[in-house]
Amino acid sequence: CRHSLSVIPGPRPLPLIGNAFDVGNTPTALFNNCVNLLSQYGDIFKVFIGNECKVFVANADFLEEIMSSNVHITKSNAYKLIKPLKFGLATSTGSKWRQRRKLIAPTFHFKILDQFLEVFNASTDILVTKLSSEVGKDWTDIYPYINLLSLDVICETAMGVKISSQEGKNSEYAQALFRYLDIVIARAFSAWKRFDFLFQFSSEYPLQEKYLETLQKFSTNIIEKRRLEKSQQVVEKTPDFGIKRRVALLDVLLESDLTNEDIEEEINTFMFGGHDSTSSLVTFALLALADNPTIQQNVYEEVLGVVGEAKYVSMQHLQDTKYLEMVIKEAQRKYTSVPFVERHLEEDATICGIDFPRGTTLSLYLYGVHHNEKYFPEPEKFDPERFLPDRQSEGHNYAFVPFSAGPRNCVGQKFAMLDVKLIIVKILQKFKILQVPGYKPELGMAAQLKSYNGMRLRLRRRDTKN
């Protein structure tokens, strides 16, 4: 690896541990160090974790070659560290991945998503009621509220099971997942914790087992609850023909020939991907609106013009809020929910003129691409107009890939965008979002971009002058 990739710059590795100190093994250190390495070495650089070579890529041409490929679809060895949690579509490859993708993709068809809006509206109404008690306070950490809302939504829509986590039930799942993934990312960039045998002697091992037990119990309970409900379900016939019911992803899995373990894998995948990434995007979008009051006012005026004071936000409303969609995309760019994804090369490959040996790990650094001045001038500036249709058509197709792209793009991206839009619409109908003086998010890079000192905002009612 060292010889074949000698043309790629990077910090000098130390014996045995490689560049473990240069990268760091906590989410915040990893985030800051990757930003610094990108600034120092450019949009393609390499690091060694032990003797494993990782090539970080923040170049859109490179991403296009990898993401559009039907060959380079295998996730890296780091994803194996998640496997005690039994992730399916997100980590599988080859025929297993293709089979699962074919089975799952139709459950996120646009016509099915339209049926989910009833849940989106009802769950977000609970959120708005909860946030009403935070009005006027010096600051509110909004992340826990959004996280529990997202958990309720993904369970009732994709799983067909109502869990009422916003009412104080099942909330331990969200915290366990948060901590479990922190441990996974620390292991992925540790020279010795990556190895299961050595990891057993670390202080994080008993914590991982504790969180894992919580997560697995939750998934098992979801599956058992839905099985019971389906066995007792009375199909409601409408006066017209057909059957009146929402199509849940879990129902499709239960009716397939997948084993219980297979089903659990996919439930874990979508429980994580469906609620954690949404939570990250919503909270960072709200932070951006608080930091940019003029842009917030523009969004509010669009909401007034399109939705008004309507209590039920419809699909047409969401399709007509074009400026809000630009704001959300800019939030995805500046605060990329999934900062990087990794691929493992199973054969030698020449990509953008560089020869890569089999076994190389490619870290597709999406946050780095979204902050590359070559594609986004003044990348730290929050500017939704970057996503005006004419400006987008002039840009590189792979410079903005928050949901990945190509064969392994996010199957739930339309679901996520509709959910995020609706949440922001309903919050802005009721509240003005303000900055907290002196607050700055402490960004960390785990499986999702998160703020490790909370997401502090101030809330004021729209019907008051303050």
Task: Name the residue with higher pLDDT: 435 or 393.
Answer: 435
Q: Classify residue 2: in a domain, yes or no.
A: no
Residue 268, domain member (yes or no):
yes
**433 vs 63: CA distance, rounded Å:** 36
- Is the residue at 13 inside a domain? no
Q: What pLDDT does 110 receive? A: 66
**345 in any annotated domain:** yes
Mean pLDDT of the chain: 87
Q: What percent of the chain has pLDDT over 90?
A: 52
For the entire predicted model, the pTM comes to: 0.89
> What number is the average pLDDT over the span 22-30?
90
Q: pLDDT tens across 322-342, in order?
A: 999 999 999 999 999 999 988
CB 114 within 8 A of CB 319: no
Q: Which residue has the higher pLDDT, 371 or 172?
A: 371
* Cβ atoms within 10 Å, residue 179: 17
Q: How many domains does the chain have?
A: 1
For residue 460 the two structure tokens come to 């004021």
Which has the minimum average pLDDT: 42-51, 155-164, 374-383? 155-164
Average pLDDT of span 204-226: 89
Distance CA 147, CA 142 (A): 9
Q: Please, which residues have CB within 8 angstroms of residue 3's CB and are 6 or more apart in sequence?
A: none
84, pLDDT greater than 70: no
Please state which of the ranges 89-93, 143-147, 353-357 shows the lowest mean pLDDT.
89-93
Checking if the pLDDT of 241 tops 80, the result is no
In the predicted structure, residue 248 carries a pLDDT above the cut 50: yes
Q: Is residue 6 part of a domain?
A: no
311-315: list long-range contacts, CB under 8 Å, 24+ apart. Answer: 311/121, 311/125, 312/121, 313/117, 313/120, 313/121, 313/422, 313/425, 313/426, 314/117, 315/114, 315/117, 315/418
pLDDT > 80? residue 122: yes
Range of the domain at 358: 20-29+39-461
CA distance 193 to 65: 32
At residue 46, does pLDDT exceed 90? yes
Q: Is the pLDDT confidence value at 1 over 50?
A: no
Q: Which residues contact 304 (CB under 8 A, 6 or more apart)?
A: none
| 450: confidence class by pLDDT, cuts 50, 70, 90 | very high
Q: What is the pLDDT of residues 280-305, one digit of tens each?
A: 999 999 999 999 999 999 999 999 99
More confident residue, 251 or 123: 123
How far is it, in rounded angstroms, from Cα 290 to Cα 30?
26
User: The domain spanning residue 283 has which CATH number?
Assistant: 1.10.630.10
Query: Residue 11 domain-assigned?
Result: no
> 64 lies in a domain?
yes
Does 7 reside within a domain?
Answer: no
424 closest CA partner among 271, 302, 334, 257:
302
- Give residue 112's pLDDT: 75
Instruction: Give the residue among 449, 435, 327, 339 at the shortest CA–CA distance from 384.
Output: 327
* Cα–Cα distance measured from residue 121 to residue 315, given in angstroms and rounded to the nearest whole number: 11
Q: Give the mean pLDDT of 355-376.
A: 94
Give per-residue burial for 208-238: e unless 16+ CB within 10 Å, then b. Answer: beebbebbbebbeebbebbeeeeeeeeeeee
